[in-house]
Each structure stands twice: as structure tokens, then as C-alpha cells.
Structure 1
Amino acid sequence: MGEITNVMEYQAIAKQKLPKMAYDYYASGAEDEWTLNENREAFSRILFRPRILIDVSKIDMTTSVLGFKISMPIMIAPTAMQKMAHPDGEYATARAASAAGTIMTLSSWATSSVEEVASTGPGIRFFQLYVYKDRKVVEQLVRRAEKAGFKAIALTVDTPRLGRREADIKNRFVLPPHLTLKNFEGLDLGKMDQANDSGLASYVAGQVDRTLSWKDVKWLQSITSLPILVKGVITAEDARLAVHSGAAGIIVSNHGARQLDYVPATISALEEVVTAAQGRIPVYLDGGVRRGTDVFKALALGAAGIFVGRPVVFALAAEGEAGVRNVLRMLREEFELTMALSGCTTLADINRSHILTEGDKLRPTPRL
């Protein structure tokens, strides 16, 4: 495999190792994939304003998320069907996250159940939730996650229908026959069958509740004591509604650019959402993070932490648990170096003055 020096190198290895249908499912975005590319490109247009001659011999990256202390503001986003990438799937990801002292978010559509992931040992885990038409199934799933020791629900709110992922349509995407969506095993919910387009899109059309609205955040709070993160917010208007609905936090996400194409990159939408939240609840970023420099830029724009998705499944495909551990290690080391070279010794030191965005070029330079 040679020396892996950054997380992006895992993608090419995953492409070689995985069946085309599985690789395309993980890698592709919606329609023209403009947002998919923009999720990365937008980071490259943010520049640093590093401060110098600051003692950076000791750097503290620890933080707390919803009261849980973690080693760094880098967490694992929910990605579905990880056993398509590697036989250990979500088990490997859970163990790697725990070893790194950070949070793993388990997808509703995991190929390992909440109980199986809990059995891998201690760790702080969140559960990503899709709301099905059958609310009894949702209640049951939330209770199982609670019982299995999961600490929060990440409610995905941008998927009333599945985005048009043309690679999946071409491939007639369907879950390989030896795998199942483990959290729904034994429930009479229909199967992800071969369809004329994407089997997953047909499954979602049949199962996911399109009536989901803000009142359902309240409903969810009535069936669980777990904090609820609203995942899929990219506007100030929805950020204010999330605060009003009693959400414990917001995850700025465009679903890995897999839903509506031509929405802004998450890093471009972040500051608007942070400003609207007014510090009343934490705001996290999910999407496009591939470097420690990206983590720093997100924190400088007001994020309380970031979630990383695709690099995890690509590393999982390449090297299993060791790959996921390596992704978390590389991002951590790059982030620590960025902090040092920017003159920041704690996360609290990272602020808006450390970066320059395109919009800033129109603003006057700060005076001493």
C-alpha cells in the first residue's frame, strides 16, 4: 500500500478494492455533483492569518460535546452499510473511535445493530435516526439505542425523499445479499429489493416519513430523554427553528452532497447558522473535511466540532480498523500542527481573526 500520508489517499485504494456498486454508493453525490466538489473546494478559498511568537510547546485539543469529554473536536459521522466496505464494518469503526477517545455516530441503516456496536466495548456513541412512517418502529429503535448506551440522537432532517444519485441508478444499487440493515432485522418493513433505478431510493420512498416536520422534534423529545441534534441545517431560518424546537445542537450538513445539488458547501453555510444560533446551542459541521486545516477553519467560523464521513469508509475498505485509526490519527496530527502554526494552544484560542474568507476581502483590515 505504501506510505499513506493523508486521508485522501485512501479513496484511490478503496476504489481498487471495492466492487463498483459499493464504491460508487460511498463516493457519489446527487445529480451534477456540483455540491460534492464544492464541499471540498470551499475550504480551499479560506486562508489563514497565523499569529506568531506565541509559546505553543503545549497544545490542548480536548473538548466536550453535550457534556461528554473527548480528545479532539473530530468525530465520526454516520455512514450507512459499512460492511460493504469491510467485513468488520461498524465494529471496526466503533473500536477505532473509542481508541481515539472520540465519538462515533451509528447510522440507522448500519449493517451492525445498536446492540452489536455496544458489544465492542466502552465508547461514546450517538445514533443517527431516520423517521419511518411506522412510528412504533421509531420508538422501538430509539429505546434500543438508549438501552445500548448511546448518548444522543442525530435526527436527519434533509431526507424526506432520497436525492437523485445517478451512479446508484446506473448500478441498480442494492445491498449485497449477505448483508441486512441490522437495526430493522425481523421487522416487517419490506426489503431493499432490486428496482428499475436505485433499490435504496425505492426502499426510502416506501418507508421514510415525508410528513416529518418541526413538531416531530417535540414528539421525539416526548419518547426519549436523550439530547437531539438536528442534522441537515444549512440556513439561518432553520437554525432559529432548531433552537426554538429545543434541539440540543445543530449539525450543519448537506448529507455529503447526496440530496439537493447546488446547495452551498457546509463550510460556506456554517457562519450563517452559527450567527443565527446566537450561542444558545452548539453548532457542528459535517461535510468535506479532509485535512486538519479544514477542522481549524470550521472552528474559526464558530463550529464546536466536526464530523468526518467518507474518509472513514474509504480507510475501512483499505485497511479495516487500522485504516480508521490512521484517519483519526492523521487528522488529529494535522489539526494540532495547524493550531501550533496559527499560534493557538487551546480550542478557545481559535477565533474568527485567524482566517480570511472571500467575504472578508470586502471588509476593512483590522486596526491595531
Structure 2
Amino acid sequence: MGLQLLEDQAESARALLAPEVLSYYDAGAGDEVTRVESEPAWAGFRLRPRVLRDVETVSTATTAAGVALAHPVGVAPMAFHALADRDGEVATAQGAGRSGALLVLSTRSSRSLEDVAAAASGPWWFQVYVMKDRRLTESLVRRAAAAGAGALVLTGDTPYVGLKRRVSGTRLAVPDDHFLVNLAAHAVPGQSITAQRAAAEQDPAVDLSTIRWLAEVSGLPVLVKGVLRGDDAVACLEAGASGVVVSNHGGRQLDRALPSALALAEVAGAVAGRGAVLVDGGLRSGTDVLVALALGADAVLLGRPVLWALASGGADGVAACVGAVRSHLEHVMALAGACRLDQLGPDLVVAPRAPG
């Protein structure tokens, strides 16, 4: 199963999705500089393979934040999957489980987190937006822990939702039954739909103290997503985080933010093994994953390719997408002279040279 599959799934999704949904999923913030730069940033690295190593058997087994994984290719948190497939995140969870992938479920799931948890046959974590009504966040976090989430992933780069020209604002008009599926049960009695939506928007007053609060509420490890600086990574760890996710939110927040590929080495170096390091943003092949692991990531998360896979083929499409990237990772590991992930290190890669 080659990487052509991902291109075919993307092409199919573009034909199948309603234009406004496609624009919402695909859009970046501002002038989309970060959105455009994220994929080619991985291709700027060059490899220094080893030769004459026994690579007859290649293993992709690993751990991330203490969770045993069959491979390091996971599914990033993304909102409102039911816009792509009527089963939404339930189908995504099924596909992730079939492929042995870690699933990170979004706060903005369009299916109930209990239904998604019931469909998940592999490890899953819950992504957290701290909402203006923190009671809503606390309720969701407790439900996620009770449903079997293994960790929380606090998104730290979204005090406000980034402006996107292609959707004339921040997001398209998501139906109430999608937006509030996990929140309506916790609404204040008599509260209007408009007030419920307002209470569920992100709280811009969130700070580092939120990390420990979430850990105490849930009893789960907390990772912080959206980290692009080494000093921020250290601050998160000192505030109680169990790890970080290097991410620019798919280019959907601060335009001209650094591509994850170019931020990873600094962040991984600052973490220095004291917590888990995951990365998302522009990864499209096993070679990209190889580079990420060599630069210090414990695992990677796929974003838009999973949405295209879901739109074009449901749960089976998601499983096939992840499987194709994992298979390609095994192939390029062998060509690089590595049969285990712990044989991948910074000596394997040469960073892009600065222009000039």
C-alpha cells in the first residue's frame, strides 16, 4: 500500500466534500503562510543513512507518555468529523483502532465522547480546550477519564480562534447538534443555544496553572499542545505537564508561526527526556516521520490526511491512511539502516541551511 493512497484519498475528499466544509478543513489563518510552509519544511532535511546493518526485521513498536504503541503514527485532534462522514469520530476511532494508532479526540467532537470511547479498540487521549465556563471543561474531562482516556492534551495556542479568510471568520456555521453534542447536558437550565455556544468558547485567561488543575480533576497525565519554543516546553514541564506536542495547529492559528519541523529539535532538546514529545503539522510520509523521530519526537500525529481518508472511505479509509504511513516508515527505516526506533537519532539528519 503506497503513499499514492494518501494523494488519492485527498483528491477524492476534495470531490466529495461540500465546498464550505472543504474550505473549513483545509483553511489556514491569515495569508496561510504557515499552512503552506508546514509540509515542505520536512522535505528540507537530508538523511545520513547507515549501511551494512541487519534490517531483515524492522520494528516500529514504541511508547509515548508511558503508553505502549505498535507504531508512532497517531491521529491528531480535529473538530467536527461528522462534516466529513455521518459516523464522525466514531468511524475515526474504529479506523485508528484497526491500524493500531493512538487517537487524540477533540473537545469539539461531533459525536459523544462515550460513543467514541466505545468504538475505540486502541489507546485514546482527550484534547482539552479550556472554555469560558470552566464547569463545562471540568465535566468533559471527568467524563473522558471515566470513559477510558489515557491522557489529556491541553491545547495552549488557542486563546482565541484564528481568523481564516476562506471561511469568512474562524469556522463555518457548525450545526448545534454537532457543536453541543457533548455540552448540552451540562448547560445551565433555561440557557439559550446562543448562550450555550458562548459559554463553550475558549477562555483567553488560561495559563500554566491550568495544567495542574486538569491533572487534579482527571487523575490523568497532561500534555500541552501548541509548543514551538524550548523555554515554553520547560515551563510546561515545571508546571506539571507530562509532555508536549510540537504544533502550529495546522497553520490555523498564528500565521507565520514556525513550521513544526523547524521547531522540533529545540523543543526536544529542552525536554531532554523529562517528558514525552509528540509532533504534528505537515507530516505526509514515512520519511517525514523518520525525520521527526530522529529529531527527538516519540510519536507523530496526522491531521488533514485523516480527514481526507475519513471523507473518502470512512473507518476503512482511516485505517488504510495510517497503515500506508506506517508501512512507508518501516521501508525507509530499513533503507536508513535502522531496525528499531531507538536507533534513530540526530546524527541521522542534516538540518536545512538558512538562506543566504
Deviating above 4 A after TM superposition, structure 1's stretches of 4 or more consecutive aligned residues are 189-193, 202-206, 359-362
The residue type paired with residue 279 of structure 2 is L
Alpha-carbon separation, structure 1, partners of 2:252 and 2:311: 20
After TM superposition, the structure 1 = structure 2 runs for residues 2-41 of structure 1, keeping only pairs within 5 Å, are 5-41=4-40
Task: Please state whether the residue corresponding to 2:182 is helix, strand or coil.
Answer: helix
Instruction: Indicate yes or no: 2:292 matched with 1:298.
Output: yes
The residue type paired with residue 43 of structure 1 is W
Match of 2:249 among 245, 255, 271: 255
Aligned partner of 1:268 in structure 2 is 262
Aligned partner of 2:338 in structure 1 is 344
Aligned partner of 1:68 in structure 2 is 67
Alpha-carbon separation, structure 1, partners of 2:175 and 2:133: 25
Preserved CA contact (<8 Å) 1:48 1:356: yes
**Inter-CA distance 181–48: structure 2 relative to 1 (3 Å threshold):** farther
Q: Which runs of 5+ in 2 are unaligned?
A: none
Task: Please state whether the residue corresponding to 1:7 is helix, strand or coil.
Answer: helix
After TM superposition, the structure 1 = structure 2 runs for residues 30-109 of structure 1, keeping only pairs within 5 Å, are 30-109=29-108
Aligned partner of 2:226 in structure 1 is 232
Q: Which runs of 5+ in 1 are unaligned?
A: 194-201, 363-368
Alpha-carbon separation, structure 2, partners of 1:249 and 1:268: 19
Preserved CA contact (<8 Å) 1:174 1:192: no
**Inter-CA distance 19–272: structure 2 relative to 1 (3 Å threshold):** same
Task: Measure how far apart 1:36 and its partner are.
Answer: 0.6
TM-score w.r.t. structure 2 length? 0.93
Task: Measure how far apart 1:180 and its partner are.
Answer: 4.0
Instruction: Indicate yes or no: 2:339 matched with 1:329.
Output: no
Task: Measure how far apart 1:181 and its partner are.
Answer: 3.5
The residue type paired with residue 249 of structure 1 is G
The residue type paired with residue 108 of structure 1 is T
Preserved CA contact (<8 Å) 1:270 1:302: yes
Alpha-carbon separation, structure 1, partners of 2:229 and 2:340: 29
In the TM superposition, what whole-angstrom CA distance separates every residue of 1:328-365 from its partner, at most 9, and x where no partner exists?
11001110001000000000001111111124999xxx
Preserved CA contact (<8 Å) 1:161 1:205: no
Match of 1:311 among 305, 311, 315: 305
The residue type paired with residue 148 of structure 1 is A
The residue type paired with residue 51 of structure 2 is I
Aligned partner of 1:156 in structure 2 is 155
Preserved CA contact (<8 Å) 2:162 2:170: no
Q: How many residues align?
A: 352
Task: Measure how far apart 1:213 and its partner are.
Answer: 0.4
Preserved CA contact (<8 Å) 1:84 1:176: no
**Inter-CA distance 176–220: structure 2 relative to 1 (3 Å threshold):** closer
After TM superposition, the structure 1 = structure 2 runs for residues 274-293 of structure 1, keeping only pairs within 5 Å, are 274-293=268-287
TM-score w.r.t. structure 1 length? 0.90
Task: Measure how far apart 1:222 and its partner are.
Answer: 2.2
**Inter-CA distance 103–4: structure 2 relative to 1 (3 Å threshold):** closer
After the TM superposition, which of the residue ranges 44-53 and 77-86 deviates more from structure 2? 44-53
Task: Please state whether the residue corresponding to 1:75 is helix, strand or coil.
Answer: strand
Task: Measure how far apart 1:170 and its partner are.
Answer: 7.0
**Inter-CA distance 177–218: structure 2 relative to 1 (3 Å threshold):** closer
In the TM superposition, what whole-angstrom CA distance separates every residue of 1:159-217 from its partner, at most 9, and x where no partner exists?
00011111111797211466444211334376479xxxxxxxx9579722110001111
Alpha-carbon separation, structure 2, partners of 1:15 and 1:268: 29
Task: Measure how far apart 1:131 and its partner are.
Answer: 0.4
Alpha-carbon separation, structure 1, partners of 2:34 and 2:120: 37
Aligned partner of 1:186 in structure 2 is 185
Residue identity (%): 37
Preserved CA contact (<8 Å) 2:227 2:245: yes
Task: Please state whether the residue corresponding to 2:127 is helix, strand or coil.
Answer: strand
Alpha-carbon RMSD across the aligned residues, in angstroms, is 2.2
**Inter-CA distance 354–303: structure 2 relative to 1 (3 Å threshold):** same
After the TM superposition, which of the residue ranges 104-113 and 165-174 deviates more from structure 2? 165-174
Task: Measure how far apart 1:123 and its partner are.
Answer: 2.1
Alpha-carbon separation, structure 1, partners of 2:78 and 2:70: 22
Alpha-carbon separation, structure 2, partners of 1:170 and 1:130: 19
Preserved CA contact (<8 Å) 2:139 2:186: no
After the TM superposition, which of the residue ranges 229-238 and 212-221 deviates more from structure 2? 212-221
Alpha-carbon separation, structure 1, partners of 2:298 and 2:83: 31
